[in-house]
Amino acid sequence: MKAAYYENHGSPADIQVGEMETPEAGPHEVLIRVRATSLNGFDPMMLAGTTDLKTPMPMIPCCDFAGEIASLGSSVRGWEVGDRVCPMPFVPGEGMTGETRRGAAAEYIVMPAVNLMKMPDAVSFEDAAALPIAYGTAYRMMHERARIKAGDKVLILGATGGVGVCAVDLAKAAGCEVIACGSSNWKLEKLKELGADHVVDTSKEDFEQVVRKLYGKPRVMGGGGVDVVINYIGGETWVKSLRCATLNGRVLTCGASAGHAPEEDLRFIWSFELNIIGSNGWRPDDQIKLLDMVASGELKPQIQAIRPLEETAQSMAQLIDRDVFGKIIITP
C-alpha cells in the first residue's frame, strides 16, 4: 500500500511517501480503506520525538480517520465490507493510533472491530476525519469538564487550532461570551466569522491586558476577569492565564504546546479560589454525538485544506509554522 512515513525522528523533510506492506486483519480486526485522515497538534511532537512515547518505526503519522471496511477478520460479526466507519482511534493495550501504533496516513489500516463506529450517511469522510481528537477533546473539555453555561465569559488561548476552533464553536452554541486568541490577522478574521465576541492578536497584544480592559482586574472578593480559561498552551502563558480568572473561576488544561512544566504561582490559585481542571481525550459517546451534530448541520468542522498523501510533509510543516486554521485533511 502507499503510505506517508518516517524512519527516524526529525522534521517534515524526513517524511516520505512510498510503498509499505499492507497490514492484515487478525480474527477480531478489520482492514479499512482510509478515505480521509487529519493532522493534529501532537503529530509534529511525535515526528520530532519530544514526547516520552515509544514510536514504532517506520512511523505513519495521523490519528483520526474515516473510511470503508475492506475486509473482515474471521471472528468479526455485525459489520460488512463497504461499511463507512469512523473508528475510535485509541486501542487498549496498544495506545493511540498515530502515537504508539502506526497512523492513518496510508491507503489501509487495521483496527479492532470493537473500535468501529458507523458514519451517518450525511457525513463526508473529510468531515468525519476532522472530528475525533480535536473535536472530541474540545467537546469533553467544554461540556463535561468546564461545564460551560450561557453567560460564561470564556477565554480561549490557541483558539485557531483544531481543539480551539471547536471550543469556540461549542462555547458560542452554549451562549457564552468568547475571547479568542490567535497569532495572525487572517486567523483572527476567521475566529470572528466563527462568532468570537472578542479576538486577541497574541503577536501584538497581551491577552491579560485585554481581559482586564474588557472585564476589569479580578478581585479577591469577586468581580473582574473571566469565568473560564481554556489553556492547552502552557509555558509562559500559564501564570498569565491564572491572572485572568475571576474568583472561583475554572482554568482548564488538556495539553501544553509551549511547555508542560511551566512556572507556577500558587498565590493566584488560593487567593481567587481557582478550580484547575484537567481534561483528557474524549469518550466514544462524545464521538457519536459529534458525528450526529455534523449530520444534522449543527456543527461544521473547520477544514482549511484537503490534500493528497503526497502533501503530508508540506501540511506538517504548515502546522509547525502555525499557519493553519482548524484542520488539514489528507486523502490517501
Ligand X SMILES: NC(=O)c1ccc[n+]([C@@H]2O[C@H](COP(=O)([O-])OP(=O)(O)OC[C@H]3O[C@@H](n4cnc5c(N)ncnc54)[C@H](OP(=O)(O)O)[C@@H]3O)[C@@H](O)[C@H]2O)c1
- Give the footprint of ligand X on this chain (CB under 6 A): 40-42, 133-134, 137, 158, 160-164, 182-183, 187, 202, 232-233, 254-258, 280-281, 319, 322
Which residue number, 160 or 312, has a Cβ lying nearer to ligand X? 160
d(CA 92, CA 101): 11
The CB-of-241 to ligand X minimum distance in angstroms stands at: 12
Q: In this structure, how many other beta carbons lie within 10 angstroms of the beta carbon of residue 263?
A: 9
For 209, the 3-state DSSP assignment is helix
Closer CB to ligand X, residue 209 or residue 280?
A: 280
In three-state secondary structure terms, 318 is helix
Rounded to 5 degrees, φ, ψ at 41 are -55, -25
Closest distance to ligand X from the beta carbon of 119 (Å)? 21
Q: Which three cell numbers stand for residue 57?
A: 518505526
Q: Shortest approach of ligand X to residue 31 CB, angstroms?
A: 27
The nearer residue to ligand X, 106 or 163, going by C-beta atoms, is 163
How far apart are CB 112 and ligand X at their closest, in Å?
20
Nearer CB in complex with ligand X: 175/259: 259
Closest residue to ligand X, judged by C-beta, is 161
- CB of 273: closest distance to ligand X in angstroms? 25
Choose between 246 and 257: whose C-beta lies nearer to ligand X. Answer: 257
Q: Which residues pair with 278 in a beta bridge?
A: 253
**225 vs 153: CA distance, rounded Å:** 8
Peptide bond into 58 cis (omega under 30): yes
Burial class (CB in 10 A: 0-12, 13-18, 19+), 182: buried
